[in-house]
Structure 1
Amino acid sequence: MVRPINQEVGMTAPGTDAQVLFVGYNAAYLRAIDGRVPSGSVVVIEEPDIIRKRNLRDAPTGFDCLERIVPARYQQSAEALDTAVELAAVRPVAAVVPGLEYAVPATAALAAKLGLPGATEPAAQALRDKVRLREVAGAGGVRNPRWREVHGPEDILAFAGDGPVVVKPANRQASVGVQLLDSVDAETAARAWARTSTAAEYEQVPDRELTWRFLAEERLRGPEYSVEALVRRGEIIFENVTAKTVIEGPYPVELGHLLPAPLDRDAQEAFGTAIRALVTAIGFRTGILHAEWILTDAGPTLVECAGRCPGDYLIDLIDLAYDTRIRVDLIDLLADRPVTLPRSPRRTSAIRFLAAAPGTVTEVAGVDTAQALPGVHAAEVDVEAGQEVRPWASSWDRAGHVIATGPDAAATRQRVLDADAAIRITTG
């Protein structure tokens, strides 16, 4: 049973027509909660430039739950604070939810301003800046790679020597600008700095000048995992470990995910210990975390952590595996309402992202065949004839995805691979 949003605990009396504020427009989130929350109960705050770039003025007509989108600056700006106070003066606010990665600091600040549960502002700042995250996580005993903030190619070269290194922005998203370098010389460092420092996301950020930071890190070896956790007042109330597959080469874009990860008891406990140490280290209070790790010989080592619902359809995979409604539960959590979550999965789930040879798409075939295979829940292609396919350099370059479930990890992995193989994207 879905708990109604208008029963806010501690802020307004039951029956009050409270609203939920989302910072950042997330169509997938709205689609998932539409029909499960009251009509017109959601208001989205979005950057004016992004509303224009993404043609969002008419977006509320596509969702029963969405009352309107309010323009206000929130990326590296405090303007949205005043906007939220004005909205709360007209209609009580039940919860403030981060819709996007760049909205995490503003969401925490708004929740604090309105006296609602949230990440806390210091935690949100650490989650949005990998330099700060390295500082506080390391001080709290969380295992980190060797790292250094960099300001140019000379810093990259000085840090790396001639060894393997990771160069990346400290406060971007979706693997944008991230590079894995096998060896470093002056020319390699210059190229890496140029690409990392000029990484762009036209539709995801406003046109005004923003501040970006960069760092170089020791390149770790080992399988990659993520931990998704719901946290209430600093205590983890739900957690899942996901096994990740990343493409070979200089750009570590995710190729697929499988959850829950097939781990032995010792590895499972190691990830549990690591995520609890991270929660304590950054002072995270209430919300959702998506922490990425590499399992080295020494144990889980932190790659990065986000304070919002993960992308790559991971929430959909969790819902399929655990029979949950995580997006609705997160709203309840941030409204300080009780939530009941399972301790173990019912099945396994997996996603595989579709690739195609670089070039112009001439044909897409096999989608219906893939969709009809056992256990397949989704088979979607995001490119069409005449569209250009680029080599993968970030998550935005992938051509689509397939999702499948099964009784165990081996069966689910095979089902998603079979669905991937059934789809043909021809380029020329």
Structure 2
Amino acid sequence: MTAPDPDTQVLFVGYNAAYLRAIDGRVPAGSVVVIEEPDIIRKRELGDAPAGFDCLDRIVPARYQQSAEALDLAVDLSAARGVAAVVPGLEYAVPGAAALAAKLGLPGATEAAAQALRDKVRLREVTGAAGVLNPRWREVHGPEDILDFAGDGPVVVKPANRQASVGVQLLDSVDAAGAARAWERTSSAAEYEQVPDRPLEWRFLAEERLRGPEFSVEALVRQGEVVFENVTAKTVIPGPYPVELGHLLPAPLDEDTRAAFGTALRALVAAVGFGTGILHAEWILTASGPTLVECAGRCPGDYLIDLIDLAYDTRIRLTLIDLLAGRPVELPRSPRRTASIRFLAAEPGTVTGVFGQDTAKALPGVRAVEVDVEAGGEVRPWASSWDRAGHVIATGPDADTTRRTVLDAVAAVRIATD
């Protein structure tokens, strides 16, 4: 990473504690300012958050989710201290960060690209027109639309502008009652701590349900040119809710398949007009090639950045700041090892005990074992990424070794529920 100017600040749109922990002590003290929704500051109790990070100067309350209010801060924030970069900290912050970067004359996704990445209807329109493979799809406004689109076939029903698989459902077949249930579950999906209390506009779509292995491509892009890319193999749970169960990277692929993902990614970048930043594009590999599921314009969740750093010996979060500040970056072309994460599950109910963590941690290659529930807490059925009970991370010299290690570690941990 190029040494940052200590007289400038980095603006984060959206509070991301994992990102702040990763850069704390590696960027100048007090050089980060976070813009966050007032309701989210209250609900997540973020008033004292700056005390927990040497790098974090303050959190500024302003609306940015489906609002341009944060743009009004641009002049004030840059007047007293120069702004080096604007970073989207969260999924819902992508359009706000792009607009703020554009107003300040800094590198960013571009406002048009950010709008497409935050709305799957728009993403389908622009990428399909450019020749990127997409499933058959339709925007829906009620159960009648779902039923009309699906016919007798399998279908995916999802919000067009939410995150973390919230409200996404996989249906093998649809009748009138099933369409009504799907619409109710999808349209009523909620994220209490992730969104403000004011009414927001949500859109919905139905899609052809594709069959095939799932992958994601993580890429750093500078002025429309891909300067780093990684392909990740993804595993999702069976059933109606496609929540990720685990990831393995780099995916064990032959050269032709890996090249096909690279070609598809570059076509996506060109189609949306993406400028500078990070992309996390999800694909299903069909007989026709990589077919686009969705794409995000911020650091991916599920600890994927940590896996990339472990596999490639990088510090992607710091590199992203450099990119968004217009500074030169150096990135590896190949990994040093493989890395994998597997999420912990348990029978839904009240937790009575957690066992085996020390055994899992002692396994060679295990890098992290985290359990997010404790005795007296609740384990919920998986309907979105927020319902998972913890995770295990492992590395190894090759995909097979790493996969065995992470599965052994998961097997060693037992979350007992009543």
- TM-score scaled by length of structure 2: 1.00
In structure 2, the gaps of 5 or more residues are none
Q: Distance in 1 between matches of 2:293 and 2:381?
A: 24
Q: Across the two proteins, how many residue pairs are aligned to each other?
A: 418
Task: Find the aligned partners of 1:85 and 1:362 in 2 and give their Cα distance.
Answer: 53
% same residue: 84
Contact map agreement 1:241 1:259 (CA 8 A) in 2:
yes
2:119 maps to which residue? Answer: 129
1:64 to 54, 57, 70: 54
Q: 1:184 aligns with which of 174, 188, 200?
A: 174
Q: Is the 8 A contact 1:4 1:38 kept in 2?
A: no
Query: Paired residue for 1:166, among 144, 156, 167?
Result: 156
Is it true that 1:100 corresponds to 2:119 in the alignment? no
* Runs of 5+ unmatched residues, structure 1: 7-15
**Aligned match for 2:301, one of 305, 311, 325:** 311
Superposed displacement of residue 140, structure 1: 1.0
The alignment partner of 1:199 has SS state of coil
Q: Spell out the pairing of 1:372-387 with structure 2 (5 A cutoff).
A: 372-387=362-377
**CA contact under 8 A between 1:357 and 1:427: conserved in structure 2?**
yes
Which digits, 9 at most, give the CA deviation of each residue in 1:302-350, with x for residues without a partner? 0000000000000000000000000000000000000000000000000
Determine helix, strand or coil for the equivalent of 2:206.
Answer: strand
Tell me the residue number matched to 1:392. Answer: 382
Q: CA deviation at 1:89?
A: 1.1
Considering only aligned residues, what root-mean-square deviation do their CA atoms show, in Å?
A: 0.5
Contact 1:116 1:335 in 2 (8 A): yes
- Cα distance, 1:168 vs structure 2: 0.2
Deviation at 1:83, TM superposition (A): 1.3
* Equivalent residue for 2:263, pick from 269, 273, 298: 273
Corresponding residue for 1:11? Answer: none
Counterpart CA distance in 1 for 2:113 and 2:2 is 28
| Alignment correspondent of 2:165 | 175
Q: Deviations over 1:164-200 (max 9, x none)?
A: 0000000000000000000000000000000000000
Please state whether the residue corresponding to 2:217 is helix, strand or coil: strand
Given that 1:375 and 1:415 are in contact with CA atoms closer than 8 Å, whether structure 2 keeps it comes out as: yes
Secondary structure in 1 matching 2:226: strand
Give the Cα separation in 2 of the matches to 1:86 and 1:178: 40
Q: In structure 2, the residue corresponding to 1:369 is in which secondary structure?
A: helix
- Report matched runs for 1:50-61 at 5 Å: 50-61=40-51
Bigger Cα displacement from structure 2, 384-393 vs 221-230: 384-393
Alpha-carbon distance in structure 2 between the residues aligned to 1:116 and 1:215:
34
- Is 1:221 the counterpart of 2:214? The answer is no
Stretches of 4+ aligned residues off by more than 2 angstroms: none
Task: Choose which of 65, 69, 83 in structure 2 pairs with 1:75.
Answer: 65
Aligned equivalents of 1:361, 1:64: Cα separation in 2 = 35
Cα deviations by residue, 1:105-145 (Å, 9 ceiling, x for unpaired): 00000000000000000000000000000000001110000
The answer to whether 1:210 aligns with 2:200 is yes
Distance apart, 1:4 and its partner CA: 2.1
**Aligned residue number for residue 346 of structure 1:** 336
Q: TM-score, normalised by structure 1?
A: 0.97
State whether residues 142 and 274 of structure 1, in contact with CA within 8 Å, keep that contact through their aligned partners in structure 2.
yes
Give the match for residue 5 of structure 1: 4
The answer to whether the Cα contact below 8 Å between 2:222 and 2:323 also exists between their aligned partners in 1 is yes
